[in-house]
Structure 1
Amino acid sequence: MNTKYIDLISQTYDFPQEEFTLNNSSLNFHGIDLMELVNEYGAPLKFTYLPKISENIQRAKNWFNNAIEKHNYNGTYNYAYCTKSSHFKHVLTEALTNDIHIETSSAFDINIVENLKKQGKISDKTYVICNGFKREQYITNISRLINNGHKNCVPIIDNYEEIGLLTEGIKGSFRVGIRIASEEEPKFEFYTSRLGIGYKNIVPFYEKQIRDNKKVELKMLHFFINTGIRDNAYYWNELLKCLTVYIKLKKICPTLDSLNIGGGFPIKNSLAFDYDYEYMIDEIVNQIKVSCAEADVDVPNIFTEFGSFTVGESGGAIYEILYQKQQNDREKWNMINSSFITTLPDTWAISKRFIMLAVNRWNDEYERVLLGGLTCDSDDYYNSEQHMNAIYLPKFKREKPLYIGFFNTGAYQETIGGFGGLQHCLIPSPKHILIDKDKDGNISTQLFSQQQTSEQLLDILGYAN
């Protein structure tokens, strides 16, 4: 009878996989022995595997370039990184080695851009696409960047007042984009995105505020929907509506030459994950070309703003199972030595799924469990609603420590969780490790941040004085 954890995983999924292999009874991630990581740094810990960032950028570039070549598409592809997914310097430094561009969402993003320019990681050729609702400080920072010579900074107009505010702040001419307020999927609680300008209002807005404004040149139309890039009728219908607007604008605005289709590529959240990226990209390029050809207008240069796709699959978190609580005849709670609410907030906030696997003891028998965090909050748990199905792990044995890993957690979790700040119930943020690989395949690790101390938290709370 197959009762070992390795039997369960092998029978349920196609295993091993590209990034997950076994070394005896312990899990390897991209060739990294995770138990060696635990033995060196302890748990809980978080890690960022930097080479995965470049790998995903290059994959997307190749898919788009292949589709452009296949369809004889007379336009370029431009990869931009959505910084709000992870603002950390090590992430931006790795991503920018791949000749990409930047998408920003708030005022302080511009300060990061200026810092990266001083270090030579961004040049004036780098597109800085400024999304989001723009308050005074954001307008000021965008204006400063453009006034200092960064002509490839393209503010994406989100509301009717922004053209006037930017015109006042920017000394010379500048280029802008317009964001489409897409119509949301029927199951949403609202009909139209709060971001951008409605489909029917974009052409009148251009005619009223941009066409005769000698300082402003419309370069880009921006399109994004919350559900991401999916192969369903809703996505293709919204894309075609976007292309209809692009065509109308292009016929009266010769400077318009770019279409930004935003982000929204899903990332792997299960060993059973299946998404045909290549097909989706091929079909998007084809749809754009066909629509433009039928309308007899030039095809646009294509921009994307991939955030989670860029950085998500580089991240992971490892916890130790501290204790098991048998709360009734059916429910066993494995308590981790940290908190889901603070370290993986999306599991709590939106029931987001991540890949979860045992790190060690794969040759032991397994059992069905629930996972609980250390806070006294009843929502601090991870169960079958967040997971693909019921959670099975090697049986808890006090004398044999069990470690578990959550993978592809690299997007949003640190900023939503408040990295370096207060944590719910004062559960400290864990250590964070950076992992890199050289050209010869040698792996190196570096401690990025220590686990938070009580002194740091007390200082934030005002007790240090």
Structure 2
Amino acid sequence: MKTSYSDLINQTFYFPQEEFTLNKDNLHFHGIDLMKLVEEYGTPLKFTYLPKISKNIRQAKLWFRNSMEKLDYDANYYYCYCTKSSHFKFVLDEALKNNIHIETSSAFDINIVENLIEEGKINKNTFVVCNGFKRDAYIENIARLINNGHKNTIPVIDNYEELDLLQEKIKSKIKIGIRIAAEEEPKFEFYTSRLGIGYKNIVPFYRKQIQENKKVELKMLHFFINTGIRDTAYYWNELLKCMKVYIALKKECPTLDSLNIGGGFPIKNSLAFDYDYQYMIEEILNQIKIACDEAEVDVPNIFTEFGSFTVGESGGAVYEVLYQKQQNDRENWNMIDSSFITTLPDTWAINKRFVMLAVNRWNDTYERVLLGGLTCDSDDYYNSEQHMNAVYLPKYNKEKPLYIGFFNTGAYQETIGGFGGLHHCLIPQPKHILIDRDKNGILATEVFSEQQSADQVLNILGYNKK
């Protein structure tokens, strides 16, 4: 009878997979022996596997290149990284090795861009696409960037006042984009995105504020669906509505030459994950090309702003199961040595599920459990996987420590959780390590940040001030 955790995984999924393999009864992630990391650095532990960032960027560029060649799509493709997914320098440094561009969302993003320019990581050919709602500090920073000579900065207009605010600060002619306020799926609480300008209002806005304005050059139309790029009737319908606006604008505005389709590529959230990226890219480009050919206008350059897709699959977290609490006849709570609310806040805030696997003891029998965090909040738990309504792990045994890993956690978790700050119940921020490979493929690790200390927390709270 097959009752081991390894049997369960093999019977449920195709396993091993590209990034997940097994060595005896220990899990490897991209060839990394996770138990060796645990032995060297302890738990709780956050890690970032840097080569995965470059790999995903190169892969996306290849998919777009293949589709453009197949469709005879005569325009350029620009891969932008959406910095809000992870602002860390080690992420930007790795991503910018791949000749990409940047998308920003707030004022301090521009300070990061200026820092990268000083270091030579960004040059005059790098596009900086500025999204988000813009007021004083963000406007000032965008203006400074353009006034200092970075002409490939493209502020994307979010509302009717922004263009005037930008023109007051910027000395030269400016390139701009306009964001479409897409209509949301029917199940959403609201009907139209709060970001951008409505479909019907974009052409009148162009005629009123841009068409005769010698200081402004419209280059880009920005289109983004909150639920992401998915093969649904809703997505294709919104894309066609966007193309109608693009074509109408293009016929009146010769300088318009780019369509920004935003981000939204999904990342692997389960061992059962299945998404045909090449098909989706090819079909998006095909729909755009058909619409433009029928209207007899040139196809646009394509910009994307992939954030989670760029960095998400590079991240992971490892915890130890400290203790098991049996609360009733059916519920066994495995208590981890950290908190879901503070280290993986999306599991709590939006019920997001990541790939979760045991790190060791794969040859042991398994049981159904609930996972609990260390805070005293009843919502600090993880109780199901994306592919099933439960969590299964090797049986708890206090004589045999059990470690569990959460994978593809590299986007948003640190900034939402508040890196370096205060956390619920003052649970300390875990140690974070960076993992890279040299030109020969040899692994190298370094500590990016140590586990937060009591003194650091008390300093924030004001207790150590004299």
Q: TM-score, with normalisation over the residues of structure 1?
A: 0.99
Query: What are the Cα deviations for residues 78-98 of structure 1, in whole angstroms up to 9, with x where unaligned?
Result: 000000000000000000000
The one-letter code sitting in structure 2 at the alignment partner of 1:195 is L
**2:437 is matched with which residue?**
437
**1:86 is matched with which residue?**
86
Asked if 1:249 corresponds to 2:249, the answer is yes
Query: What are the Cα deviations for residues 387-426 of structure 1, in whole angstroms up to 9, with x where unaligned?
Result: 6431110000001000000000000000000000000000
Contact 1:220–1:257 (8 Å) recurs in 2: yes
How far apart, CA to CA, are the structure 2 residues paired with 1:9 and 1:204? 57
Q: TM-score, with normalisation over the residues of structure 2?
A: 0.99
How far apart, CA to CA, are the structure 1 residues paired with 2:66 and 2:277? 12
**2:222 is matched with which residue?**
222
Contact 1:157–1:176 (8 Å) recurs in 2: yes
How far apart, CA to CA, are the structure 1 residues paired with 2:225 and 2:62? 24
**2:359 is matched with which residue?**
359
Query: What are the Cα deviations for residues 55-95 of structure 1, in whole angstroms up to 9, with x where unaligned?
Result: 00011000001100001111010000000000000000000
Unaligned runs of 5+ in 2: none
Match of 1:102, SS state, is strand
How far apart, CA to CA, are the structure 1 residues paired with 2:270 and 2:425? 30
How far apart, CA to CA, are the structure 2 residues paired with 1:387 and 1:158? 38
Query: What are the Cα deviations for residues 254-276 of structure 1, in whole angstroms up to 9, with x where unaligned?
Result: 00000000000000000000000
**2:106 is matched with which residue?**
106
Within 5 A, what are the aligned runs for 1:400-439? 400-439=400-439
Query: What are the Cα deviations for residues 285-320 of structure 1, in whole angstroms up to 9, with x where unaligned?
Result: 111100000000010000000000000000000000
**2:460 is matched with which residue?**
460
Query: What are the Cα deviations for residues 346-393 of structure 1, in whole angstroms up to 9, with x where unaligned?
Result: 000000010000000001111100000000000000012766431110
The one-letter code sitting in structure 1 at the alignment partner of 2:231 is D
**1:369 is matched with which residue?**
369
How far apart, CA to CA, are the structure 2 residues paired with 1:398 and 1:439? 42
**1:315 is matched with which residue?**
315
How far apart, CA to CA, are the structure 2 residues paired with 1:13 and 1:346? 25
**2:203 is matched with which residue?**
203
Within 5 A, what are the aligned runs for 1:2-151? 2-151=2-151
The one-letter code sitting in structure 2 at the alignment partner of 1:446 is E
**2:156 is matched with which residue?**
156
Query: What are the Cα deviations for residues 126-177 of structure 1, in whole angstroms up to 9, with x where unaligned?
Result: 0000000001000000000000000000000000001101111000101000
TM-superposed CA distance for 1:439, in Å, is 2.1
The one-letter code sitting in structure 2 at the alignment partner of 1:371 is L
Contact 1:355–1:407 (8 Å) recurs in 2: yes
The one-letter code sitting in structure 1 at the alignment partner of 2:261 is I
The one-letter code sitting in structure 1 at the alignment partner of 2:402 is L
How far apart, CA to CA, are the structure 2 residues paired with 1:387 and 1:325? 25
Match of 1:348, SS state, is helix
Contact 1:270–1:388 (8 Å) recurs in 2: no
Contact 1:347–1:386 (8 Å) recurs in 2: no
Match of 1:172, SS state, is coil
Match of 1:60, SS state, is helix
Contact 1:354–1:387 (8 Å) recurs in 2: no
TM-superposed CA distance for 1:123, in Å, is 0.3
Match of 1:294, SS state, is helix
The one-letter code sitting in structure 2 at the alignment partner of 1:21 is T
How far apart, CA to CA, are the structure 1 residues paired with 2:453 and 2:211? 57
How far apart, CA to CA, are the structure 1 residues paired with 2:245 and 2:387? 40
Match of 1:138, SS state, is helix
How far apart, CA to CA, are the structure 2 residues paired with 1:396 and 1:387? 22
How far apart, CA to CA, are the structure 2 residues paired with 1:137 and 1:182? 26
How far apart, CA to CA, are the structure 2 residues paired with 1:102 and 1:377? 38
How far apart, CA to CA, are the structure 2 residues paired with 1:22 and 1:343? 26
**1:168 is matched with which residue?**
168
Match of 1:364, SS state, is coil
How far apart, CA to CA, are the structure 2 residues paired with 1:220 and 1:430? 42
Contact 1:353–1:387 (8 Å) recurs in 2: no
**1:305 is matched with which residue?**
305
TM-superposed CA distance for 1:23, in Å, is 1.0
Contact 1:353–1:388 (8 Å) recurs in 2: no
4+ aligned runs moved over 2 Å, structure 1: 385-389
**2:446 is matched with which residue?**
446
TM-superposed CA distance for 1:249, in Å, is 0.1
Contact 2:78–2:100 (8 Å) recurs in 1: yes
RMSD over aligned Cα, in angstroms?
0.7
Match of 1:445, SS state, is strand
Percent identity between the two aligned chains: 79
TM-superposed CA distance for 1:53, in Å, is 0.2
Contact 2:269–2:386 (8 Å) recurs in 1: no
Asked if 1:344 corresponds to 2:329, the answer is no
How far apart, CA to CA, are the structure 1 residues paired with 2:391 and 2:94? 34
Match of 2:58, SS state, is helix
**1:278 is matched with which residue?**
278
Contact 2:356–2:385 (8 Å) recurs in 1: no
How far apart, CA to CA, are the structure 2 residues paired with 1:66 and 1:10? 34
**1:324 is matched with which residue?**
324
Contact 1:104–1:131 (8 Å) recurs in 2: yes
TM-superposed CA distance for 1:47, in Å, is 0.1
Count of equivalent residues: 465
How far apart, CA to CA, are the structure 2 residues paired with 1:258 and 1:43? 47
* Distance change >3 Å, CA 8–CA 385, structure 1 → 2: closer
TM-superposed CA distance for 1:449, in Å, is 0.2
Match of 2:79, SS state, is strand
Contact 1:243–1:291 (8 Å) recurs in 2: yes
Match of 1:367, SS state, is strand
Match of 2:262, SS state, is coil
How far apart, CA to CA, are the structure 2 residues paired with 1:183 and 1:122? 35
Match of 2:297, SS state, is coil
Contact 1:128–1:152 (8 Å) recurs in 2: yes
How far apart, CA to CA, are the structure 2 residues paired with 1:422 and 1:31? 34
Match of 1:54, SS state, is helix
Match of 1:132, SS state, is coil
